Homo-oligomer: A and B are copies of this chain.
Amino acid sequence: MSEQWLTSLITETAQEGYELAIKLSRMGIKYTQPDEEIRGKIRPVYGENADNLIASSQVIATNFQTVSAANNYWRN
C-alpha cells in the first residue's frame, strides 16, 4: 500500500489509543480485501451478525494490547 496511514502508535489519551486499535483492525481487512466495493457489500452483513461483531471486538482488543503497551498504558 503506497498510501501512508500509520505514522506512530503513540497517542495522547487511552481513548485515542482505542480508536487507533480500531483503525488497525480495519486496515487488516482492507489489506486482505482491497476492493472497496466488495468490502461495502460485506459491511452490512457482519454489522448485524453477532459472531462477526464479537470477533471484530476481539481483533480490536488484540490491537489495543499493542497500542496500550506502546503508550505505557498512559500511566502518567
Contacts and interface: CB of A to CB of B under 8 A. Distances in A.
Most central of A35, A54, A65 by chain B CB within 10 Å: A54
Interface string A40-55: 0110011111111111
B56 A32 contact: yes
B24 A74 contact: no
Classify the interface of chain A: helix, strand, loop or mixed: helix
A50 B61 contact: no
B28 A56 contact: yes
A57 B28 contact: yes
Interface of A: 1, 4-10, 13-15, 18-19, 22, 24-29, 31-33, 35, 38, 41-42, 45-66, 68-70, 73-75
